């Protein structure tokens, strides 16, 4: 069966894109391997109308709503290859099946590589976090740590004091300069240069961290900036341009979520340096609009720069 749009990835961005196209009565295939980045989080916050809901519950509701549209086919599986053949994209799934689509939306998301600190991984998404806007309020104003992985830690440590007393742990990988230190002091953030070696408490909760010199520091939560990589290499296979973000590369898109490859759009965490449920859903909607309109009006002559990062 040939589809008008194939969407790879079924979290906030992919389902949002599918919804717009479904309502335009377009034939859509949504392929999702059911491993969303947010699967470790108990709740999603700051998402209008869904504040406090579990991400899995939000996605299950979206899946049910999409199933009411007869032009949408939802498949659990992994898209492993994609290539362009004339004006059509051929996508092969891990089970060997191949599907054809006139347009392709990559909402593949990213995967995280966490700092190697004892006790950190089992707390990821609950008391070890990456977004204060998503999870800072739930720390209840308690003491907060920011684990440095580079200069961007200053930006995070400058934001976080609005959610609780903050300590920047430099971990020996970064030393703030005089201007940065003055900014942190102005915001009331302390600087601790002795590295964290262990997280303490009954996981996934966090009670304190142990430092290399044996001291313990009480914390309600610890913010980190994990390294990110796209969860799929389909964008690279197709020749999409990439940009370097603060935590890792992402697919370059224009204001309509169009990549450097005609007919290919991208949305969500895979196509943005800023990752957030609301932003992912919004970019997915825009990708849906863009794909629909390109089916009607054709592809524009101007594309985002094709120079890869």
Average pLDDT for 271-299: 94
Question: Is the predicted pLDDT of residue 276 greater than 90, yes or no?
Answer: no
Q: Where in the chain is the domain with CATH 3.50.50.60?
A: 2-112+227-297, 115-223
Average pLDDT for 223-251: 96
Quick: pLDDT tens for 96-152: 999 999 999 999 999 999 999 999 999 999 999 999 998 999 999 999 999 998 888
**Residue 14 contacts by C-beta under 8 Å, 6 or more apart in sequence?**
7, 8, 30, 32, 105, 107, 267, 268, 284
pLDDT reported for residue 52: 83
pLDDT reported for residue 46: 81
Which of the four pLDDT bands, split at 50, 70 and 90, describes residue 48?
confident
Q: Say which residue the tokens 């991208």 belong to.
A: 266
Average pLDDT for 222-231: 95
Our separate counts of H helices and E strands in the chain read 7, 19
pLDDT reported for residue 308: 39
8 A C-beta contact, residue 66 and residue 74: yes
**Residue 297 contacts by C-beta under 8 Å, 6 or more apart in sequence?**
none
Average pLDDT for 195-206: 96
Question: Is the predicted pLDDT of residue 307 greater than 50, yes or no?
Answer: no
Residue 120 Cα distances to 169, 174, 204, 283, angstroms? 14, 20, 9, 31
Quick: pLDDT tens for 50-73: 888 888 898 999 999 999 999 999
Omega within 30 of 0 (cis) for the link into 204: yes
Average pLDDT for 224-251: 96
Radius of gyration of the chain (CA): 21
d(CA 248, CA 103): 26
Question: Is the predicted pLDDT of residue 187 greater than 50, yes or no?
Answer: yes
Number of CB atoms found within 10 A of residue 117's CB: 19
CATH number of the 2-112+227-297 domain: 3.50.50.60
Q: What is the mean pLDDT of the chain?
A: 93
d(CA 27, CA 136): 40
8 A C-beta contact, residue 105 and residue 7: yes
pLDDT reported for residue 296: 96
pLDDT reported for residue 302: 55
Question: Is the predicted pLDDT of residue 303 greater than 70, yes or no?
Answer: no
* DSSP SS3 for 84: strand
pLDDT reported for residue 1: 62
Per-residue three-class SS string for 29-65: EEEECCCCHHHHCCCECCCCCCCCECHHHHHHHHHHH
For the entire predicted model, the pTM comes to 0.92
Poorest-confidence range of 30-44, 89-103, 197-211, 283-297?
30-44
d(CA 170, CA 195): 7
Percentage of residues in the chain having pLDDT higher than 90 = 82
Quick: pLDDT tens for 26-36: 999 999 998 88
Nearest to 106 by CA among 304, 288, 306, 309: 288
Question: Is the predicted pLDDT of residue 21 greater than 90, yes or no?
Answer: yes
Poorest-confidence range of 47-51, 236-240, 297-301?
297-301
**Residue 154 contacts by C-beta under 8 Å, 6 or more apart in sequence?**
168, 176, 180, 183, 184
pLDDT reported for residue 36: 82
**Residue length, the chain?**
309
d(CA 100, CA 139): 47
CATH topology for 115-223 is FAD/NAD(P)-binding domain (3.50.50)
Nearest to 159 by CA among 223, 235, 247, 237: 223
Average pLDDT for 241-268: 96
What is the DSSP code (8-state) at residue 107? -
């Amino acid at each position: 069966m040939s589809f008008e749009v194939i969407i790879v990835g079924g979290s906030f961005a992919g389902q949002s894109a599918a919804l717009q196209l479904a309502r335009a009565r377009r034939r859509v295939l949504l392929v999702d391997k059911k491993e969303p980045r947010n699967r470790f989080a108990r709740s999603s916050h700051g998402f209008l109308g869904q504040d406090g809901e579990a991400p899995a519950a939000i996605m299950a509701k979206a899946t049910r709503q999409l199933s009411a549209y007869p032009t949408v086919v939802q498949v659990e599986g992994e898209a492993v290859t994609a290539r362009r053949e004339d004006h059509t994209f051929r996508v092969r799934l891990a089970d060997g099946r191949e599907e054809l689509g006139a347009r392709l939306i990559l909402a593949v998301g990213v995967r995280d590589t966490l700092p190697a600190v004892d006790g950190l991984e089992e707390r990821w998404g609950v008391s070890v976090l990456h977004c204060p806007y998503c999870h800072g309020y739930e720390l209840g104003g308690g003491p907060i740590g920011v684990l440095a992985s580079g200069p961007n830690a200053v930006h995070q440590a400058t934001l976080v004091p609005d959610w609780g007393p903050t300590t920047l742990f430099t971990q020996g990988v970064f030393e703030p300069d005089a201007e940065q230190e003055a900014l942190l002091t102005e915001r009331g953030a302390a600087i601790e240069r002795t590295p964290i070696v262990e997280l303490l408490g009954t996981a996934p909760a966090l009670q304190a961290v142990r430092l290399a010199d044996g001291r313990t520091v009480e914390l309600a939560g610890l913010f980190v900036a994990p390294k990110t990589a796209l969860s799929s290499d389909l964008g690279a296979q197709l020749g999409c341009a990439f940009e370097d973000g603060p935590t890792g590369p992402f697919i370059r898109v224009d204001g309509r979520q169009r990549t450097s490859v005609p007919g290919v759009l991208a949305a969500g965490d895979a196509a943005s340096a800023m990752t957030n449920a609301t932003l992912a859903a919004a970019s997915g909607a825009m990708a849906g609009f863009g794909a629909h309109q390109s089916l009607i009006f054709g592809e524009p002559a101007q594309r985002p720069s094709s120079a890869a990062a």
